[in-house]
């Protein structure tokens, strides 16, 4: 094998995620061919797999050191989509490990058809009352031969066009061009996704995924009703936050362990699902599985609820190599074991970094998010009312769900929302 391959890096960058690939040297393996079956059952499998991955990743981030009192926010949909594109080039043990982490039990041809159908279903047409845009792209080093079976599959099923770059001679200009693409695809909400150390003269491929969401609530909060009220981060630590309030009919359920509510966005295709544990949100999140989530949702029914939800805006950034390794795909990051021969015909790449960046803005009108979307809510003790109260005044878990496909698009935890401009709370 040409010794220059030893220095090849493959970077997978996305608005919510960017695996960066580094070189390795092993014998080449042939890429497998792909077919195209019916999309409907495949879409259901992919949507379910994405939700399982979302909850598993959340559990890992939730358990991370130093995350207590910290907000969590990711676009699991963007991360799983980017990893699925990477997965198309994986072979042997790397392929098997990634399938396990992504909860993919289907053949590759069904995976491709499922993602194509899911991306088509979640694409917001001009007639929709919200914006939901997902974009993918490949950025490859000029002069490097990439397998057409890989680039064609990414283009056909994920809509990811191929762009020639010169990382080897001008990495900074290449980085700036990709960052500009990210900004354009996220309404300028995600800036500087790739920082200077992320792109070097050794970079050979960057795979980008960008996701942007903006939607108004189906039932907006009245700005005049927003008050500065206390939010208990943990016993002994309280911050005063702008707390939105409204009373309306929403799907809702509660027991001694938690409350769960669904707030739809205009058009009813997407909604905010908020889970407010009675106790420690971190401990509750450690046991939140897809089966448990489905059981909680099955108990919800529409009823009149007093809703108190913090207004918030924040950004997050993660390097996800350790969480993904812990979830079960260590070979992808190991230069002596990784097999991404489906990309170039040679086993000369492995992942070095996975970068995730996201922003969320939730207010009385609705929500705007790039890369990942988060909506913050926290419950507290209810005042006497003939109907329940959902008061998000302590840490809670939330997700934005695409209702037609039941896909989790964004997921997070609000533990420490931004304080109100005025530090003094109003009496309540």
Q: What is the DSSP string of 72-124?
A: EEE-HHHHHHHHHHHHTT--HHHHHHHHHHTT--S-HHHHHHHHHHHHHHHPP
Tell me how crowded residue 239 is: count the other CB atoms within 10 A of its CB: 16
CATH superfamily of 3-215+315-359: Antithrombin, subunit I, domain 2 (3.30.497.10)
Q: What does the alpha-carbon distance between residue 393 and residue 376 come to, in Å, rounded to a whole number? A: 10
Residue 386: pLDDT band (50, 70, 90) is: low
Vertex 43 angle, CA 274 and 266, to 5°: 40
pLDDT digits (tens, 9 = 90+) for 43-59: 999 999 999 999 999 99
Q: Does 119 score more than 70 pLDDT?
A: yes
Q: Does 107 score more than 70 pLDDT?
A: yes
Amino acid 375: pLDDT = 17
- With H, G, I as helix, E, B as strand and everything else as coil, classify residue 60: helix
pLDDT digits (tens, 9 = 90+) for 77-95: 999 988 998 899 999 999 9
Whether residue 207 contacts residue 160, with contact meaning beta carbons closer than 8 Å, is answered with yes
**Two tokens, residue 155:** 């283009």
Residue 141: pLDDT band (50, 70, 90) is: confident
Taking the domains of the chain in order of start, what are their residue ranges?
Answer: 3-215+315-359, 218-311+374-414
> Is the CATH number 2.30.39.10 carried by domain 218-311+374-414?
yes
Name which of 87, 44, 209, 84 is nearest 136 in CA terms. 209
Q: Does 206 score more than 50 pLDDT?
A: yes
What number is the average pLDDT over the span 262-291? 93
Pairing outcome for strands 203-216 and 366-370: antiparallel
Residue 387: pLDDT band (50, 70, 90) is: low
- With H, G, I as helix, E, B as strand and everything else as coil, classify residue 392: coil
Q: Does 291 score more than 80 pLDDT?
A: yes
Residue 290: pLDDT band (50, 70, 90) is: very high
Amino acid 177: pLDDT = 93
DSSP letters, 277-335, are ESS-HHHHHTT--HHHHHHHHHT-EEEEEEEEEE-EEEEEEEE-HHHHHHHT-GGGG-T
């Amino acid at each position: 094998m040409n010794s220059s391959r030893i220095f090849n890096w493959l970077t997978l960058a996305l608005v919510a995620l960017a695996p960066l690939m580094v070189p390795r040297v092993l014998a080449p393996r042939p890429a497998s061919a792909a077919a195209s079956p019916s999309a409907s059952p495949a879409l259901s499998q992919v949507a379910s797999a994405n939700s399982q991955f979302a909850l598993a990743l959340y559990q890992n981030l939730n358990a991370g050191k130093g995350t207590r009192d910290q907000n969590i926010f990711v676009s699991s949909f963007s991360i799983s989509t980017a990893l699925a594109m990477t997965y198309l080039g994986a072979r042997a043990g790397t392929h098997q490990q990634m399938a396990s982490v992504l909860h993919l039990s289907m053949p590759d041809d069904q995976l491709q058809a499922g993602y194509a159908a899911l991306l088509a279903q979640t694409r917001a047409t001009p007639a929709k009352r919200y914006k939901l845009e997902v974009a993918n792209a490949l950025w490859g080093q000029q002069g490097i031969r990439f397998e057409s079976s890989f680039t064609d599959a990414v283009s056909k099923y994920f809509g990811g066009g191929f762009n020639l770059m010169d990382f080897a001679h001008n990495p900074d200009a290449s980085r700036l061009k990709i960052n500009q693409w990210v900004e354009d695809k996220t309404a300028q909400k995600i800036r500087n996704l790739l920082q200077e150390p992320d792109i070097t003269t050794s970079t050979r491929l960057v795979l980008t995924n960008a996701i942007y969401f903006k939607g108004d609530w189906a039932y907006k909060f009245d700005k005049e009703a927003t008050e500065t009220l206390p939010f208990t981060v943990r016993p002994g630590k309280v911050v005063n936050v702008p707390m939105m309030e409204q009373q309306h009919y929403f799907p809702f359920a509660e027991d001694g362990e938690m409350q769960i509510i669904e707030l739809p966005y205009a058009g009813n295709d997407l909604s905010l699902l908020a889970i407010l544990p009675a106790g420690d949100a971190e401990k509750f999140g450690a046991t939140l599985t897809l089966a448990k989530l489905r059981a909680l949702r099955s108990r919800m029914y529409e009823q009149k609820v007093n809703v108190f939800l913090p207004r918030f805006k924040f950004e997050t950034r993660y390097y996800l190599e350790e969480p993904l390794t812990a979830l079960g795909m260590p070979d992808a990051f190991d230069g002596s074991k990784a097999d991404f021969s489906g990309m170039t015909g040679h086993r000369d790449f492995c992942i070095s970094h996975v970068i995730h960046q996201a922003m969320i803005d939730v207010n009385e009108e609705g929500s705007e998010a790039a890369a990942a979307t988060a909506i913050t809510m926290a419950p507290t003790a209810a005042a006497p009312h003939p109907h329940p109260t959902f008061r998000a005044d302590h840490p809670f878990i939330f997700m934005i769900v695409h209702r037609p496909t039941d896909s989790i698009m964004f997921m997070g935890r609000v533990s420490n929302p931004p304080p109100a401009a005025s530090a003094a709370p109003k009496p309540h």
